[in-house]
Structure 1
Amino acid sequence: MKYYSTRDKNVSLSAAEAVKMGLSRDGGLLTPTRIPQIDRAFLERLIPMEYAQRAAKVMVLYLTDYSEEELLTFGRNAYGPAQFDDPIAAPVRKVEDGLYCLELWHGPTSAFKDMALQMLPQLLSAALRKTGEKRTACILAATSGDTGKAAMAGFADVPQTCIQVYYPKDGVSPVQERQMVTQEGENVDVRAVIGNFDDAQAGVKRIFSDEAVRAELDKRGYFLSSANSINWGRILPQVVYYISAYCDLVRDGALTMGDKVNFCVPTGNFGDILAAYYAKRMGLPVNRLICASNSNNVLTDFLRTGIYDRNRPFHTTISPSMDILISSNLERLLFDLSGENDAEIRMYMDALGSAGRYQVSDNIKAKLDDAFWGGCCSEEGTEETIRRYWQDYGYLIDPHTAVAAEVLAQYRVASGDETPAVVVSTASPYKFCGSVLTAIGETPCGDGLELLDQLHAVSGVPVPCRLAELKGKSRRFDKTVEKQAMEQAVLDFLK
């Protein structure tokens, strides 16, 4: 299996090279040259397996210069009891008949990013060995709240790596910020950007394409790689949990093998739902992918009109990991839907960079309509859904999960489609205690970690142990940076 760039099909890299680089030097996203196919027999073989085994079976189809045995070892390291508080790693919970939640927040940082970022450091370390790389990999990441902590937790003190994370100042929850600024490890650094997530993400992309910065870092013995979902090593582990969820639904009698299922995914950067799309392209029986946005509804408008337009107000919401107006992974989807037309993708991305908008072809729009449905949820709708799930089902969900649950309800009303559906639950409610308490009718007594105890007292739901441990940790990082000064901040870190 080779990997090429969405902006230049002449690029040809091995899987290890693609994981090591993270982002193509032309600014495009590295993408597999073909989508492996799975069938009913493949899925049936997965059903009795543990999650790590399922991960190895799926990932080896793409990572052909890794062995299944080493991927299984990586999987057991990533998803074992030392990291995950549920032996299933990504359990599917029944809400009611035909409605399920895929809980992706049982890892060390209580967010879905752990599903990939416990695996990526192992993939990258192996890639360094496989490619004979002697330099140190500097993982550069922008985060809207969860990626940063999950990436630092995964890469902390991993040999031949270091990691620097940028998050939007005042744009993440208090728990998310405390998780990042207390991170341990001699090779980690985190800074708040004066701006929003798009500013942080644009700065990281700019640094990746800056030849002068790359040349200087090379002299110092470093090269840049990514832990954001622009790295294929982030997307692939996420493909696994959609396939695993389907197997669990069949195992538990909720589906008969071959029955179709809908997935509703809360998304900002489009990586999580892109992984679901790849699972469908592989042959997983998926009917419709429902893309759920908050008030930053650029993806909803795009899916309905075929016009992507980031020229709009930016909203800071109670679902901050979705407060994004430039959805990077959409580029991979468009590359696939265009028939892998790199020239067409370059045209769209150039237009996005210069004018902030583009309109896809009628051919791509028709394919979007066939695979996706987009909807968005207001702040009031988010709070009402958290309250409704708690009152009606005794099930406590975070604001991002609530956005997806509400958009799924909208889809069912609009379409009449009652296909069994899975809401992708991306974070523990304890990462957003204040918003969840308010939604279920309580008055938060404070605005920091003391709310963990209050939410537990009200709900009886256990506090994830690593979040509870934050109360005893001191702040290690307190630096801020202007968005135009991020290049210098990288050079300062990598002296």
Structure 2
Amino acid sequence: MEFIKYKSTRGKETGVNASEAILKGLADDGGLFMPEKFPKFDFSLEDLKGKRYQEVAYEVMKLLLSDYTKEELMDCIEKAYDEKFDTEEIAPLVKAEGAYFLELFHGDTIAFKDMALSILPHLLTTAAKKNGIKNKIVILTATSGDTGKAAMSGFCDVEGTGIIVFYPKDGVSNVQRLQMVTQKGDNTDVVAIHGNFDDAQSGVKKIFSDKEFANKLSENGIQLSSANSINIGRLVPQIAYYVYAYVKLLESGNIATGEKINVCVPTGNFGNILAAYIGKQMGLPIDKLICASNENKVLFDFFENGVYDRNRKFVLTSSPSMDILISSNLERLIYLSCGSDGEYVSKLMKDLSVGGKYEVTEAMKEFMKDFIGGFADEKKNFEGIKSLYDSTGYIIDTHTGVAFSVYEDYKNATKDMTKTVIASTASPYKFADSVLEAIFGQKQDMGDFEVIDKLHEIGAPDIPRAILEIKDAKIRHTRECDSADMQKEVEDILFNNRR
């Protein structure tokens, strides 16, 4: 098996072990870590039939996390994918209306972030031991709704760690907010910012790039790491569930060995769909990667014309985890598309930072031709949710609704009947009010938990533990700040120990 090292997308940091990259989160030059090469599968997909999710995950992850021993990696995997998931399958595949919905929401926080954030704390603490780190590791992350809760759940009371989450005060659903502000754990802190997700994400990146602040933290025995999908430890575990979905299709006889599938992903920060792309580079038979956007369609426009332009109105939608104008993980694809030219990537990212836009070359556009962009506005999203429910009784959330609507448009426009896996990224209970509005055609005059009961009444599966737990939970986190004051909040939490 090859030993895979990592390098920064901006070219100034190379030869980094996987465990070191996971510990750092972000490269010193501000870039994102990428494998120096993509290893090829050293297994047959046929041979994975009948394997548990945990076993499939190991076969995939061992190739990219090659400085972890088998014992270390299997320990991380078994601790992550355990009884906190409400199904032994971990990621069931459900057929509805000719597509295959990969349900990624059966974990603790009923969203796809659980699939990677359940394992990240274990990868991180193992990495710290491997690298002789004695500092307290503080996870600093921005969330558009789901990452924050999933990360806090994973890191809650993990020895030697702390976690600080920033979220846009008016940019998440009430269920998402309640999941975060009721989070237990002596090492968890949550801060609402006055701004949107991009403000939160930019603020976190700015803190990471402040060398003077890093030195101050180090002097106090603290180092920062990230739980966002900019951390390669978030991205690698996501590849596994696309492999698992393919194996499930093989098991059921819905595809033949080697038959290509399409993958359709509701996309915000670009990490989830990038994981599918990396899987393809490693040997997974994927043809098209359908990138589904909501009304904040910066990625759709990019794949249409090669110009990434965040200078536009920011729209708050019913799919808040996709309300993003700066898709950080796209930098990784840009890096690959320009021949791994870190200097060129740095220029484009500076253009984005200073002027809010950049344009790629024709050759780079050609490199990215496997990606198909599509978008669904609120009307089309709700129509998709309703039509799927009316025809099959299957209920999806508002993010999956975007993906389903875009898939239907793609299929009707191209007549491409390739079997397609749709990443179903959240439980409908997480956005119950919007799902009911879509199904009934109007907003329901009900409280947060009344709509949850109604959703169950019309056919949604059992109400998840994650919802029941927040019903009467105590509010524990009330901090809020302007986006410009995020570093001050971090200092107050870490040095003054004030909640």
Unaligned runs of 5+ in 1: none
Residue 429 of structure 2 corresponds to 430
Query: What SS does the aligned partner of 1:217 have?
Result: helix
Q: Quote how far apart the aligned CAs of 1:446 are.
A: 2.9
Residue 184 of structure 1 corresponds to 184
**Contact between 2:13 and 2:28, CA under 8 Å: does it hold in 1?**
no
Q: Quote how far apart the aligned CAs of 1:378 are.
A: 0.5
Q: Quote how far apart the aligned CAs of 1:443 are.
A: 4.5
| Cα gap change, 1:26 to 1:447, in 2 (>3 Å) | farther
Residue 85 of structure 1 corresponds to 86
Residue 38 of structure 2 corresponds to 35
Q: Quote how far apart the aligned CAs of 1:454 are.
A: 2.4
Alignment-mate amino acid for residue 23 of structure 2:
K
Residue 392 of structure 1 corresponds to 391
Q: Distance in 2 between matches of 1:140 and 1:293?
A: 26
The superposition leaves residues 103-141 of structure 1 with CA deviations (integer Å, 9 ceiling, x where unpaired) of: 000000000000000000000000000000000111000
Alignment-mate amino acid for residue 96 of structure 2:
V
The superposition leaves residues 381-403 of structure 1 with CA deviations (integer Å, 9 ceiling, x where unpaired) of: 11111111111111000000000
Q: Distance in 2 between matches of 1:246 and 1:213?
A: 45
**Contact between 1:375 and 1:407, CA under 8 Å: does it hold in 2?**
yes
Alignment-mate amino acid for residue 101 of structure 1:
F
Unaligned runs of 5+ in 2: none
Q: Quote how far apart the aligned CAs of 1:73 are.
A: 2.1
Asked whether 1:312 is paired with 2:312, we answer yes
Q: Quote how far apart the aligned CAs of 1:13 are.
A: 1.1
Residue 377 of structure 1 corresponds to 376
**Contact between 2:12 and 2:29, CA under 8 Å: does it hold in 1?**
no
Aligned length: 491
Q: Distance in 2 between matches of 1:10 and 1:86?
A: 41
Q: Distance in 1 between matches of 2:464 and 2:431?
A: 13
Q: Distance in 2 between matches of 1:367 and 1:120?
A: 31
Residue 349 of structure 1 corresponds to 349
Q: Quote how far apart the aligned CAs of 1:68 are.
A: 2.1
Query: What SS does the aligned partner of 2:95 have?
Result: strand
The superposition leaves residues 340-388 of structure 1 with CA deviations (integer Å, 9 ceiling, x where unpaired) of: 111111111011011110001111101112x110000010011111111
- Bigger Cα displacement from structure 2, 168-177 vs 339-348: 339-348
**Contact between 2:116 and 2:234, CA under 8 Å: does it hold in 1?**
yes
**Contact between 1:445 and 1:454, CA under 8 Å: does it hold in 2?**
no
How well do the aligned residues superpose, as a CA RMSD in angstroms? 1.1
Q: Distance in 2 between matches of 1:27 and 1:341?
A: 15
Question: Which consecutive segments of 4 or more residues in structure 1 shift more than 2 A?
Answer: 9-12, 442-451, 457-461
Query: What SS does the aligned partner of 2:63 have?
Result: coil
Q: Distance in 2 between matches of 1:21 and 1:10?
A: 12
**Contact between 1:444 and 1:451, CA under 8 Å: does it hold in 2?**
yes
1:32-181 aligned at under 5 Å gives the runs 32-38=35-41, 41-80=43-82, 82-97=83-98, 99-181=99-181
Alignment-mate amino acid for residue 387 of structure 1:
K
Q: Distance in 1 between matches of 2:445 and 2:74?
A: 45
Q: Percent identity?
A: 49
**Contact between 1:452 and 1:468, CA under 8 Å: does it hold in 2?**
no
Residue 14 of structure 1 corresponds to 17
The superposition leaves residues 140-190 of structure 1 with CA deviations (integer Å, 9 ceiling, x where unpaired) of: 000000000000000000011100000001100000000000001000000
**Contact between 1:174 and 1:447, CA under 8 Å: does it hold in 2?**
no
Q: Distance in 2 between matches of 1:414 and 1:96?
A: 17
**Contact between 1:175 and 1:449, CA under 8 Å: does it hold in 2?**
no
Q: Quote how far apart the aligned CAs of 1:46 are.
A: 1.6
Residue 413 of structure 1 corresponds to 412
1:481-492 aligned at under 5 Å gives the runs 481-492=481-492
Q: Distance in 2 between matches of 1:443 and 1:336?
A: 44
